[in-house]
Amino acid sequence: MAPSAPSAPVPEDNCARRPDPAASAAVDLRRDERQGGHTIARHVGRTDAQLRARLNRESIAAASTYPDLATAERVVAVVLAENERAVLRWVSRRGARANLAIHRRARSALPTGRILQRGRESADEAFGAVVVLRWRQEGHYVLTSYPEN
């Protein structure tokens, strides 16, 4: 059997790269959906027609989607790992707290997903992401995450 060619290196800044296995194991968007999250329902595997329909229904400037669940979970894991200190400060506060929104600006030429802006005919590639955490007495969960530029 011939040896396989080495794969191209993945830029360290790529938000969609595979994070440390321990970090990705902690991100379970299906579990988060059962707790009230909506990343999968609104932002995973959507077509341009579905994004357009959402723009027609809701008063939002843009609708976006990750290509698949694996990408969504990898991106969320990377964003949370990069912002671990901010998340720990937020978690350690006393009493109820507002949602924590973390914006990760594009730092890579590799897209995280697609975004359809209101008034545009087709979706463009997105290179950043937003992760929103919701706190509950029992712990926090990912309320939503979506690609963003």
Please give the pLDDT value at position 6: 41
| pLDDT digits 0-9 by tens, 60-93 | 999 999 999 999 999 999 999 999 999 999 999 8
Q: Which residue has the higher pLDDT, 69 or 10?
A: 69
Are 140 and 134 in contact by the 8 Å Cβ rule? The answer is: yes
Q: Is residue 7 pLDDT above 50, yes or no?
A: no
Q: What are the residues facing 129 on neighbouring strands?
A: 104, 147
Of the candidates 139, 107, 144, which has an alpha carbon nearest to the alpha carbon of residue 12?
A: 107
Helix or strand holding residue 122 (H, E) = none
pLDDT (tens digit per residue) in 104-149: 987 777 899 999 999 999 999 999 999 999 998 888 999 999 999 9
Q: Which residue has the tokens 């937003």?
A: 130
Q: For the residues 13-34, what does the mean pLDDT come to?
A: 67
Q: Locate 64 and state its tokens.
A: 């976006």
Encoded amino acid at 73, one letter:
E
Residue located via tokens 């609104």: 42
